[in-house]
Copies of this chain bind each other. A is one copy, B any other.
Amino acid sequence: MSKALPVVQPNQRPAAQPPIFGKIGIVGLGLIGGSIALRARELWPSSLVIAVDQKDVLEVAMRRHAIDVAADDLVVLAEADLVVLAAPVRQNIELLQQLDDNVRQPAIITDTGSTKREIVAAARALPPRYTFIGGHPLAGAAQGGLERARPDLFEGRPWLLTLPAPSDDSAPLEKLSAFVRALGAEPRVMSAEAHDRLLAFLSHLPQLTASALMRVVGDAVGQDGLSLAGRGLSDTTRLASSPDDIWKDIAATNADEIGPALDALVDVLQTLRKDLSEGDRLGEVFADARRWRERLKKQP
């Protein structure tokens, strides 16, 4: 007697969860916005994922089944109870000013940009039916774009959230924390000021350094010389593939923190330069760097 066997799905989606937000609006479907959309659709089948971007991007997103509703106009966000601004930093700041005309409901507004002070300041002018909480998932890659988006992008990665004013209701922060935790990330709350200083060193300085180094080395040795390059140069310059439009915004909105970080690096490079033949301070810099690098590797 034959009997139907249970069907095993090899790529089973995670079990659906009770929705945290009913209508999730995402403005900008790049690597980050696209990955939020993909994961949200898996987790919350009864929530609507509403996307705003250019039509060609939305077509790709529709083909990937990343979104439910799409438009190239913010008006589609009328009923959203969460709006995620996932465009470059200064575009996000401009988008803030257009929310009042489009998002009709009380909503939590967040962003995913790499600097936080300017947008947090701009958000103070929002109508009181919105609660703004700045956000920054630390899950970038040297190369962005919707085509690289994936639902597990945030798995185990930190997602920084800005500290609301002490007077604010704590419920929105708890709700947004639950949302990013569901996406796989680990929420961590800090002030916009602490965020921008930290990221100047963890992310912005390495990016500028990698681009500057790649430019100098390429100009000096040319294509033929680069053909002899090994893994050292390749690792050290991987970030130089990053798109410059995003980075112009980051540099402009965090110039006062990135500047001193660049100065500190130039200072150490000039110490090394003076000390090439002696090697004493070179040895010190190398020893300090190795010690920090060991701790960096020991991350979970």
A residues apposed to B, CB below 8 Å: 138-142, 157-158, 160, 188, 198, 201-203, 205-221, 223, 225-244, 247-248, 251-252, 255, 258-259, 261-266, 268-270, 272-273, 276-279, 282-283, 285-297, 299
The distance in angstroms between the C-alpha atoms of A138 and B229, with both chains bound, is: 8
The distance in angstroms between the C-alpha atoms of A160 and B228, with both chains bound, is: 10
Given contact pairs A226-B296, A228-B188, A242-B286, A215 touches B268 in the complex (Cβ within 8 A): yes
B contact residues around A237 at 8 Å (CB): 206, 289, 293, 296
The distance in angstroms between the C-alpha atoms of A199 and B104, with both chains bound, is: 61
- CB pair A276 B252 closer than 8 Å: yes
Protomer copies: 2
- CB pair B230 A138 closer than 8 Å: yes
- CB pair A261 B216 closer than 8 Å: yes
- CB pair B296 A277 closer than 8 Å: no
The distance in angstroms between the C-alpha atoms of A52 and B213, with both chains bound, is: 38
> Which of these, B212, B232, B241, B259, contacts A142 with CB under 8 Å?
B232
Instruction: Return A142 CB to nearest CB of chain B, in Å.
Output: 7
Q: Which residue on B lies nearest to A271, using beta carbons?
A: B212
